[in-house]
Chain A
């Protein structure tokens, strides 16, 4: 029989041994930090959580199966949403980019979620030669060679995407409106953000080319509460459709109020309207019938991702969005780059990781991810959804409340 004192000593020694073993194991593995910049505060918080979980799930899996021998991936989560902006805040995004660049352990990043944040971050990341892969920001200017001086002053591509851009997302829904829904006239709104204005412009241009009459264009203040004025004006013009370029802060209110004022008008938006907030904050019946696109293939209902979706749901208690998958895939691409750097016997740092991300060709859930010279995804699929209430699933289940229609026509 052990005496009490002996028992305590034994426990203490065991604990010490376990702790030491743990420390030893950790010391053997060097930590590679991956920055993760999302808009976790404000109107897009729920969608941001889904994206964050996708990336975190990848890190956990990769670490658990020791994908990178001798290294563990460690996320550095940063929030570019601020309370005063109520959504993403470009100034905070720039601060976060500086934080990542100044931390030498950060060799790559995932994010940002929003194009408005991306425009502020890209020049800083370029100066630090820190590659980032965005799972959801789609404004084409950031990677366009036309604006290289502004967004990649140091020359090399550092802004990669596991989604395509609004150069396709806006126009392709215009194609869908014209060809499939036979829309003859449309009113276009945006939310005055970088993403919203860009995608609304791209939509409008293609709509005009397709012969859809654009009855007008106006801009919403995302912080204002009241859009009934503009909706009344639109009602008087009697358009077939309303297109909104923008994210949740204005989008949710627009959905609610347009349901009252323009109940019969076809309404659509980009991936800003593919959000958990549309389902929870705008809610049914207001959200019902809205069209939305995403700038990636639709994967959450694909057989390939079946097990993944179940695991995600069990782990985080919510259904994933397709952008949870593009974030997961972004992490896979970074891990693949690091792995190849190690295999080639090179030092794992920002320069090598960036170069190996550039040459990536990775099999992911959404398909093969490879980038062009500017960092844009080679796959240019745009998927179209319509919100239709399915009472068998929870109201904010993005897999089942967004009904997948198909791939939007490219021309």
Chain B
């Protein structure tokens, strides 16, 4: 393998990781932007998304790696899987907000954040106790089409994953920028009090942020399963932590920042593994994070928020 092919392959690997981190980072950023809350339950909403999509695929008779679909059936199955998973996770996010976080909305200090850690563990244990402790084989219905660029290979499923991730992120961005409720979200993020006075229904906006963030996490969970062909109750922590790091790196609260941050973390992980060692992955990721924050405390694209009173 030439150095160029190797770098190309690692870039492909890094972008695939990055697509997942970006989807997950968006959930952290949407909620933080509005509530200034780090929502740790997001880790395991992602994990539950992978299980929901596993059940959906199994209900289509897909299990293991044997069944391969193409064309319309593939598109149909994936569409249903994404819609059901995203709707379920979005709903789960709304329920988590309504039941556990809203009552703490006006409580000062870290109570809400600690609660979200607790919720995260509850979700984690629900899956552990109902589905079991072992890793599950995740079906891969996509045909094994590969393109070779030099000695680097690009899988059809990787390309599809990128396309889906881009589509979802683009849609979210347009939604936040253009739609009425998107405008309300941005207004609430700037100043909730003033937004309320202008007639914005803040509760609705917060619910929307949780729904969108959690739905994207669900999509991330499905993509995780399709890419790695396994899932387990434990997958939320490492992916969640890296995605959270991505959100901070991009400037937490900033939607394009989370997308770019996710891709950067993915690429750093791939290149760090290539040129240093995978054993050092976390050290490399967090060293870069610290360096960025020292020089740009608000992250790459973040602004220091004006003091909210």
Q: What residues make up the interface of A, taking CB atoms closer than 8 Å to B?
A: 40-43, 45-46, 81, 83, 86, 192, 218-221, 223-230, 232-233, 235-236, 238, 248-249, 252-253, 256-257, 260, 277, 280-286
Query: In the complex, how many angstroms separate the beta carbon of A240 from the nearest chain B beta carbon?
Result: 16
Residue B185 is within 8 A (CB to CB) of chain A in the complex: no
Chain B interface, number of residues (Cβ within 8 angstroms): 42
What residues of A have a CB within 8 angstroms of the CB of B16 in the complex?
228
Query: In the complex, how many angstroms separate the beta carbon of B134 from the nearest chain A beta carbon?
Result: 5
Query: In the complex, how many angstroms separate the beta carbon of B258 from the nearest chain A beta carbon?
Result: 19
Do B238 and A221 have beta carbons less than 8 Å apart?
A: yes
- Selected contact of A225 from candidates B6, B136, B235, CB within 8 Å: B235
- Selected contact of A233 from candidates B133, B233, B273, CB within 8 Å: B273
* Known A225-B224, A282-B230; further 19 A-B contacts with Cβ < 8 A: A83-B124, A83-B233, A86-B233, A192-B279, A219-B277, A220-B279, A223-B237, A224-B278, A225-B228, A225-B238, A228-B16, A229-B13, A236-B1, A252-B230, A256-B229, A257-B228, A260-B155, A281-B135, A286-B229
Could you list some 9 contacts between A and B, CB below 8 A?
A: A43-B234, A220-B279, A221-B278, A227-B278, A228-B270, A232-B9, A235-B1, A235-B9, A283-B137
What residues of B have a CB within 8 angstroms of the CB of A260 in the complex?
155
- DSSP class of B's interface residues: helix, strand, loop or mixed? helix
Q: What residues make up the interface of B, taking CB atoms closer than 8 Å to A?
A: 1, 5-6, 9-10, 13-14, 16-17, 64-65, 124-125, 128, 132-137, 155, 224, 228-230, 232-235, 237-239, 269-270, 272-274, 277-279, 281-282
Would A253 and B230 be within 8 Å (CB), given that A218-B279, A223-B237 are in contact? yes
What residues of B have a CB within 8 angstroms of the CB of A238 in the complex?
1
- Selected contact of B135 from candidates A41, A218, A224, A252, CB within 8 Å: A252
Query: In the complex, how many angstroms separate the beta carbon of B228 from the nearest chain A beta carbon?
Result: 6
- Selected contact of B6 from candidates A42, A236, A284, A285, CB within 8 Å: A236
What residues of A have a CB within 8 angstroms of the CB of B124 in the complex?
83
What residues of B have a CB within 8 angstroms of the CB of A256 in the complex?
228-230
What residues of A have a CB within 8 angstroms of the CB of B64 in the complex?
283-284
- Provide the bound-state CA to CA distance between A286 and B137, in Å: 11
Do A45 and B133 have beta carbons less than 8 Å apart?
A: yes
- Provide the bound-state CA to CA distance between A248 and B125, in Å: 21
What residues of A have a CB within 8 angstroms of the CB of B224 in the complex?
225
What 5 pairs between A and B have smallest CB-CB spacing? A229-B273, A219-B279, A86-B234, A236-B1, A281-B135
Do A81 and B133 have beta carbons less than 8 Å apart?
A: yes
Do B6 and A223 have beta carbons less than 8 Å apart?
A: no
